[in-house]
Amino acid sequence: MTLAFAGGTHRTVPLDLRERLAFSADQVAEALRRFRDRFPGREVVLLSTCNRVELYAAGGADSAAPSPGQIVSFLAECRGIDERVLAPVLDGDRDEAVVRHLFGVASGLDSMVLGEPQILAQVKQAWAVAQDSRTAGPLTGDLFQAALRTAKRVASETALGRERLSIPSVAVNDFARGVFERFDDKRVLLVGAGKMARETLRYLREAGARDIVVLNRTAARSAELAAEIGGRAGSLADIVAELAAADLVVSTTGASQPVVTLDAFRQAEPRRGGRALVVLDLAVPRDFDPRIGTRPGVWLTAIDDLAAACDANRKSRQREVPAALAIVDEEARRFMGDLHHRSTAPVIERLRAGWSETGDAELERLFRRLPGLDEAARDEIRQAFERYAAKLLHPPLKSLRTASHSGPPHGLLDALKRLFDLKD
């Protein structure tokens, strides 16, 4: 059983390249299908967020997981990026290092905002998509369930995420508040109606925002969110007019091209009357042409601009990191121990089968020599044989289990095979 991963994050991949590498929901499903065809018999989960793209693969003894290099080549091919451009900024690893990395990611230890909770939902979603695409399996299933369990332990046993800070909270509290002292008199334009948009809106409403317009390419989702918050649903076709009236824009779509071009903004600009405009562009790829940020009175913040505020947040939470890492280490060792122990299952099965076969033959011989035994006596003798066999098997099986926690017990397995003449 082997594990491998390759991917990049906000720390290693520049934003312009990360925009090209990002997968939409439909593109994730298509990539999983392509991987299944390219590497039959392997399991795969693809995690794509605004800050990271990572592919996790697993394989058995007869179909090992592809190497990190093969995964990088696959990602480059899927996104139409020259592998020579992508390879230097992507990381990769195998087996136990993969386990520790994923457990840290799910726990928020590798996030731009240390301990942010949104990544846990994104990890769950990535696993769910793999299940729907039939590219997940028993090994990735156990891996991702263990990652979610680790994240829950970190959240409950440390104060790492108690304040539940996230990119939307930093965007609102550190950037929008730096321009506006109050929000109850501001028109908020929300472009996109997904999870990021809803979380950002929650912080804005806590800050006092009430006049909110929701735009989304799916009119039903705009109407649904607007009804929830007592806002107004608009149409993306009217975005120029909405930009002219807005004071603060939050954009979180999954569009592959800018939703607001420089030309579109220039159409709205004369109608704004010189009012200040704060744009929180939290999408990857970006929804707003970055040149809009050079226009007079515009404060445009893209997701990578949040790095300084997130670094300050990270420093304040660093004291919780050792405790969180200890949990990750404990859960990773437990997972690898279980994984190594699972690899002993075929030998254990053959050992038990051999002892059972021998015991059945001896019982049959005994019952032929004692024809007067009734069925109750026979059952008692069978149970005694089974208990005796279980007690004799217990020491070697316990040794296997103990050895598995220190790594693959290859030496002990080979010894058992030779001692008991177990054939492959």
The SS3 of residue 390 is helix
50 catalytic? Reply is yes
CB 48 within 8 A of CB 25: no
What is the residue type of 111? S
Within 13 Å and on the Cβ side, how many CA atoms surround 89? 22
423 — alpha (psi -120 to 50), left (phi > 0) or beta? beta
What is the residue type of 391? K
* Tokens 């226009």, residue located: 295
CA neighbor of 13 nearest in space, from 96, 79, 63, 95: 79
Tokens of 149: 């369990």
114: which DSSP letter?
Answer: T
Q: To the nearest 10°, the Cα dihedral for 27, 32, 34, 35?
A: 140
Q: What is the 3-state secondary structure (H, E, C) of 165-184?
A: CCHHHHHHHHHHHHHCCCCC
- Phi–psi pair at 302, nearest 5 degrees: -95, 170
CA neighbor of 164 nearest in space, from 331, 327, 317: 317
Angle formed at CA 47 by CA 45 and CA 48, multiple of 5 degrees: 145
Give the active site residue among 50, 90, 167, 284. 50
Catalytic positions, please?
50
